Amino acid sequence: MTVGRRRLLKVLTAIPVLGGLVAVLSPLFRFLKPNDGPWQIFTIKPDLPKGGAQVVGKTTALAKPWDFFYFTYVQKFVQYDPTGYKAANIAGVAVRLPKKVKFENASGFVGYKGETDIALFQRICPHLGCIFNFIPDFHEITAGYGGYVPPEFEKHALMGCPCHLSIYDPAFPNDPGNVISGPAPRGARYFEFEIRGEDIVVTGAELGGIA
């Protein structure tokens, strides 16, 4: 009976000790594998944002060159909180280009398999995260975005950031969305997308667009 009581006391004493040990080691586990999920401490999963396939518009809305529309893509980041994830909205623009291009940028991200004249850009400026605009008339770029005068081959619709006046060319040869003026360190980020019938379906987003 005495031995049983001592054993019970040892067990009761060990519980807070084990709890404290887990609490101490938990940050180490989170450091080694962050953002696993609420109860997936030892599960190895890619720590990548997910958004799932989302229809953002119709190809019929882009009937002729330089037609465009804005859309919002909801991306989900795995988070270690009761909800399990955090949603983030990414502003985007879809544009019908005057010619087909290969939608792979200088960073190696492939937005579309093969060539396409439909371009999908993230509107988050790579400079400091402002939302840039699609400007159908390049004269407006010159008048309201720092006085930039594009060369002859770029006198068409452009994209401009109102915060620090970075200018992007959605039809830049071999690198659509390339920055052509201003402080942005790189071109506009892409969405990964597919064309399913008349639906334009975003299946992913190039990382780094959300600060």
pLDDT grade for 47, boundaries at 50, 70 and 90: low
Q: How far is CA 150 from CA 72, 147, 164, in A?
A: 29, 10, 17
What are the structure tokens assigned to 72, written together?
Answer: 């919002």
Confidence grade of residue 46 (pLDDT, cut at 50, 70, 90): low
Q: Which of 11-15, 29-33, 131-135, 204-208 has the lowest mean pLDDT?
A: 29-33
The pLDDT value recorded for residue 32 is 61
Pairwise CA distance, residues 204 & 153, whole Å: 31
Give yes or no for residue 179 having a pLDDT over 80: yes
Reported as a single tens digit per residue, the pLDDT across 70-122 is 999 998 777 777 777 778 889 999 999 999 998 888 788 899 999 999 999 99
User: What rounded mean pLDDT belongs to the chain?
Assistant: 85
- The confidence score (pLDDT) of residue 211 equals 46
Contact 75, 69 (CB under 8 A): no
pTM (predicted TM-score): 0.74
CA-based end-to-end distance of the chain = 63
- Tokens for 67, please give them: 């037609």
Q: What is the pLDDT of residue 210?
A: 65
Residue 158 to residues 41, 100, 142, Cα–Cα distance (Å) = 47, 17, 11
Highest mean pLDDT of the ranges 28-37, 45-54, 109-118: 109-118
